[in-house]
Chain A
Amino acid sequence: MQPITVHTGTMVPLDTANIDTDQIIPKQFLTGVTRQGYGKHLFHDWRYLDQHEQVLNPEFNLNKPEYAGASVLITRENFGCGSSREHAPWALMDFGIQVIIATSFADIFYGNAINNSMLPIRLASNEMDQLFAVLAQDNNASVTIDLSVQSVVCGELEFSFDIAPHHKNNLIKGLDAIGQTLEHADAIATYEQQLASWQ
């Protein structure tokens, strides 16, 4: 995992609640056997006017020149709901998104993001309103996320966010979760020894 402590970037807004993982990466792109190459298909149905991804939808924010190069996605409640597909964070990261700031996330997506060193940040609804408002004034507004002090700074605005200590630690140190758990191999073996054969 790539360590992540401070990230500064510009934002792209998707001012919609309940963006599901079928929207983030539709099923026809789930037939891959690697973790690479999904960025091209990110938000396929919204981003392209045709099935073959030849014609960009100029109305979709990710296609607008003013948001080109944005690495922070700002959105609303229940982002990443639905299917457990980890292809969703793979596609977002492959496209260049490093941080997602939203009112709330679906549980599985949140864990998948952390496991890929993409930072999901929850802010209150009124704080999200303020971020959207700043972006409406200035398309190029940049935001700085400092994981070590759990802050989001955007111009005059400064918000703090919550994150579980182990998630924070894993992200900052870029730790391998499996390697960490394997340090508990003895405890796992002890647990298994007390299981009945039929369990």
Chain B
Amino acid sequence: MAKTLYDKIWDAHIVSQVGADTLLYIDRHLIHEVTTPQAFAGLNDKGRKVRCPEKTVATMDHSISTRSLALDACGPANQLQLQTLLQNCEDHGITLYPVGHQKQGIIHVMAPELGAIQPGHTVVCGDSHTATHGAFGALAFGIGTSEVEHVFATQTLRQSKAKNLKVEVTGKLPIGVTAKDIILAIIGELGHAGATGYVIEYCGDTIAALSMEERMTICNMSIEGGAKAGLVAPDQTTYDYIKGREKAPSAADWDAAVAYWDTLFSDSDAHFDRTVTLQAKDIKPQVTWGTNPGQVIGVDDLIPAPTDFSDPITRESAIKALKYMDLTPGQKLSDLDVSHVFIGSCTNSRIQDLRAAASVAKRGHVANHVTAIIVPGSAAVKLQAEQEGLDKVFLDAGFEWRLPGCSMCLGMNDDLLKEGDRCASTSNRNFEGRQGRGARTHLVSPAMAAAAAINGKFTDVRQFEEQ
């Protein structure tokens, strides 16, 4: 029977059927400080052990400072959480990449850099942006802390199968339009909950032409459309990224691995429950205007009116969002001042993102009323950027150059906005209060964020590109 990529990975991980459910084997368990302490405590209470510490990758990313490597830099509660992770990893034999380690970083940036994520893997993490790793053709999804404990103890999860959704993007991307714009446009099309109950496979020649960094940006935000996971079929781009990395299959095993990976694609006659198609030429640089990622428009579109939405619940959401965001229907984004710019997060903090931002940053200087910070996704990204001189480009242009971590994407450290601040952010969520109580977040690509920093207001990056 013809199978989708999702079907193939699913079938390859069935340990047993339990009633209507499947006990699914988990190949990689990624962990960080925020969603694991209670799972380790549960394990310890029952005298259980971590079944496969060697399949578990740990780092510190959420609760850490981007100005200091000290664990106590963000106060005693954050410090306790970080020390708890240190102790738990030591007790259970898990390799931890702590703050200051040359391979530390946001879990969804550093784990691929290690070569820990391979096509055909199942990957979980107590973090909804685990979907990122679908870029490798791995079935990757976020779980809660009770499930983290379950994976620790059993290396499996009980799951019911999701439906298959194909999202096809075809054609050449216009200048100034990036992977971030593609995924925001897709979420705009699907709606904030439109993919709930589905695993998305992103395909089409536009997706196939993307780098691994770009594919990670796309898969990362699958959860913002409600999807369980997002996938891109592995190809030579994937193999070239993985080869030679620390945890990649060694020389002797490489050919066997590639032979398996080459089987990981959706059969031409495989059944998808739903298909959505976008033309790359129709996608503009995107900016969210509301308080969920589905409330998004092209940079030259006008802020919508509630009456534009026929569904009463969507209309109510729009009224509430416009009020929170202090926006008026019909307003132009280019008239909207920003006070802050954040370039970072597991969505957009990889080397290619920083190169895109730097190419815009070097054309000007951060506007006087704007605070702009650049937070590389990992120590490796930071080092690479510094070797390329990007740090100097940013610093000369008036951006702050920080240490790696999740930072202002959610502000579990001191990188927080104040009430009324308006931020152009390369992160993944524009929820109320996400970056600080009463603060307003607009999601954009790295190039769009850099352009907003320089002009002090939202700017169509295509104007920069055409100069």
Contact = CB atoms under 8 A, between A and B. Distances in A.
A2 B150 CA distance: 18
Interface string A97-140: 00000001011100110011000000000000000000000000
Nearest to A103: B313
Nearest to B88: A33
B156 A116 contact: no
Interface string A16-31: 1110101100111011
Nearest to B125: A84
A81 B62 CA distance: 19
A181 B156 contact: yes
Contact of B153 (A51, A106, A108, A178): A178
Given A22-B429, A181-B156, A78 B193 contact: yes
Interface in A66-82: 76-78, 81-82
Interface in A148-199: 164-166, 177-178, 180-182, 184-185, 187-188, 191-192, 196-199
A179 B449 CA distance: 48
Contact of A81 (B46, B155, B192, B257): B192
Nearest to A109: B144
Interface residues of A, number: 53
A84 B146 contact: no
A61 to B, nearest CB: 15
Contacts of A191: 15, 25
B321 to A, nearest CB: 10
Contact of A107 (B21, B23, B228, B410): B228
A30 B145 CA distance: 12
Size bracket, chain B contacts: 35 or more
B228 A33 contact: no
A109 to B, nearest CB: 8
A1 to B, nearest CB: 9
B433 A33 contact: no
Interface stretch (B77-85, B377-385, B451-459): B77-85
B402 to A, nearest CB: 18
B18 A166 contact: yes
Interface string A30-62: 111111000000000100000100000000000
Interface string B429-443: 101111001100000
Contact of A166 (B15, B27, B158): B158
14 contacts: A22-B433, A31-B34, A31-B80, A33-B38, A35-B38, A78-B192, A78-B193, A85-B34, A85-B144, A86-B126, A181-B154, A182-B153, A188-B23, A188-B154
Interface of A: 16-18, 20, 22-23, 26-28, 30-35, 45, 51, 76-78, 81-86, 89, 104, 106-108, 111-112, 115-116, 164-166, 177-178, 180-182, 184-185, 187-188, 191-192, 196-199
Give 8 nearest A-B pairs by CB, closest first.
Answer: A198-B249, A112-B144, A33-B37, A115-B146, A78-B193, A198-B253, A31-B77, A86-B144
